[in-house]
Amino acid sequence: MSRFDKAAAALEQYGLDALLVTSEPNRQYVTGFRSDAGMAVVTRESSYFFTDSRYIEAAGRAVTGGTVMESTRQKSALALAREVIQRHNIHRLGFEEEWTTVKEFRLWEQSLDCELLPASALLTQLRTVKDQEEIDTLIAAQRIAEKAMDEVLDFIRVGRTEQEIAAFLQYRMLSAGAEKMSFDPIVVGGPNGSMPHGVPSERPVGDGEFLTMDFGCVYHGYCSDMTRTVALGHVTEEMEKVYRTVLEAQLAGIAVARGGVKGKVIHEAGAKVIADAGYGAYFGHGFGHGLGVELHEMPGAGSNSEEVLPTGTVISAEPGIYLPGRFGVRIEDVIVLTDDGCLDITNSPKELLIL
């Protein structure tokens, strides 16, 4: 079943005759084609994708399960959508309220002869459960990141700057087939490591410091994400304790992760390990976030995540401890929830490594 078909099959559940898809990530999900311009309309009978001359040839090759049409200055994508709505006698049209501007909504109200109804939840629900093709693509993206991780270990040494290490990771992922980065790599050492989303600087990494590397890439439209913290030269007793605590917290969360549990249950399992070790005040973010065509998707596994996670959900597993001005440790894998547990699709070793 194509993603067009999946979206069409969900229309009745949401009381819709058709769905208007305009955001880049949801267009990519529904059509299987990534571009920064276009519009899709999914009806109960058939589906359509409109894009301009820059993408029409590529879209014609990539999009299956729907009709591809070219928008022009004379006939815009909105005009094409209006024709489809009239042809299929659409009365109730869903739109992505979480992505739509007020200006766009007012234009659609004026141009489209139908009722516009919020329908972001339909696409969120579909994207929450990954099919096997999506999981295989996520695994392939993870393998590219892991290869870069293996290679960067020989590059890291005392005196290298955070920026140099970040640049090396990006180069190696692109060389291995990545389309782009999932996000700007976070590469922070020593006292900079206490900032979970620190920006790589010109600061050289030093002996006796932790170096945290959080990075990932996009492959066939899907994101990888991983974090490893390594030490240079030697570690103190406290550094070793913090690292061991974070690893135990990650394993505790992974151990309870499965389809049918609330995200907060997974978070609390990891957070308890950190709190019991005396570092509860230094773990301020959630255990994990959803992952797919976007780096951060719903649902997640945080302290307020009341939603039950279905089988097929993909989330990160990334607890951390951050001691301000001193050092930080984070370890991150990506897991796929199953009926009886989860599949960890990240293969890189995570025992404490001292370079």
Contact 253, 287 (CB under 8 A): yes
Please give the Cα distance from 224 to 292 (Å, whole number). 8
Mean pLDDT of 83-112: 97
Mean pLDDT of 185-214: 98
Strand pairing report for 314-317 and 222-223: unpaired
Question: 62-71 pLDDT, tens per residue?
Answer: 999 999 999 9
Q: Of the candidates 226, 200, 229, 240, which has an alpha carbon nearest to the alpha carbon of residue 329?
A: 229
What are the distances in angstroms from CA 33 to CA 50, 217, 221, 296?
A: 12, 17, 8, 19
Q: Is the pLDDT of residue 15 over 90?
A: yes
- Domains along the chain? 3-127 (3.40.350.10), 132-344 (3.90.230.10)
Question: 133-170 pLDDT, tens per residue?
Answer: 999 999 999 999 999 999 999 999 999 999 999 999 99
Q: What is the mean pLDDT of the chain?
A: 97
Please give the Cα distance from 248 to 283 (Å, whole number). 14
Q: Token match 């006292």: residue?
A: 191
Mean pLDDT of 68-89: 97
Please give the Cα distance from 275 to 287 (Å, whole number). 13
Please give the Cα distance from 163 to 311 (Å, whole number). 39
Whole-angstrom Cα Rg for the chain? 23
What pLDDT score was predicted for residue 8?
Answer: 98
CA angle 106-112-114, nearest 5°? 105
Question: 241-280 pLDDT, tens per residue?
Answer: 999 999 999 999 999 999 999 999 999 999 999 999 999 9
Q: Token match 């401890």: residue?
A: 321
The model carries a pTM of 0.95
What pLDDT score was predicted for residue 222?
Answer: 97
Please give the Cα distance from 350 to 300 (Å, whole number). 23
Q: Is the pLDDT of residue 1 over 90?
A: no
Instruction: Dump the DSSP string for 144-192.
Output: HHHHHHHHHHHH--TT-BHHHHHHHHHHHHHHTT-SEESS--EEEEGGG
Choice among 32-41, 135-144, 210-219, 242-251 with the minimum mean pLDDT = 32-41
Please give the Cα distance from 339 to 355 (Å, whole number). 39
